[in-house]
Amino acid sequence: MEANPEYLPDLERWHLADDAGTAWFMESMLTTWQLTGTPDGYPAGTYAYAWHFNTMQTLLHAVEAWDPATQDEPNGYVKRKGERREAPDRLTLPEYNRRRCHHGKYVEEGACPHIACEAWTPPF
């Protein structure tokens, strides 16, 4: 998805794009950067989907590489908030759209570093 960041001072966030029936925004949080999605029909200023990234650069790179029409979520986030998203044409990429934990790791791979996570595997 091509992002053209435009800062909205009233909302204190950047509008990145409109794609797949959703308005996409970026905002600085305390220690992370948040990507949010507001589907058509949602009240302004609210969101259904949100993912946190460690830096603004990782967020913007993830957005550029992401196709929200076929991919449920972007890659590279460290925490999901909000609803679990399903892309409109998600069945075209079943490998990419496998179930992920809240930290962005595929659950069946057991590679999440968070010890209380469903996708964590003991190292022994």
Residues making contact with Zn ion (CB under 5 A): 101, 103, 112, 114, 117, 119
**Enclosing H/E stretch for 102:** none
Measured over all CA atoms, what is the biggest interatomic distance in the chain, rounded to whole angstroms?
51
Matching residue, tokens 């053209």 = 4
Which C-beta is closer to Zn ion: that of 50 or that of 101? 101
Least Å distance, CB 110 to Zn ion, is 10
Least Å distance, CB 118 to Zn ion, is 7
Using CA atoms of 112, 116, 117, 123 in order, give the dihedral in degrees to the nearest 10.
Answer: 40
Least Å distance, CB 31 to Zn ion, is 18
Which C-beta is closer to Zn ion: that of 1 or that of 35? 35
Which C-beta is closer to Zn ion: that of 5 or that of 110? 110
Please tell me what DSSP assigns to residue 72.
S
Least Å distance, CB 52 to Zn ion, is 13
Task: Round to whole Å and give the CA distance between 117 and 56.
Answer: 25
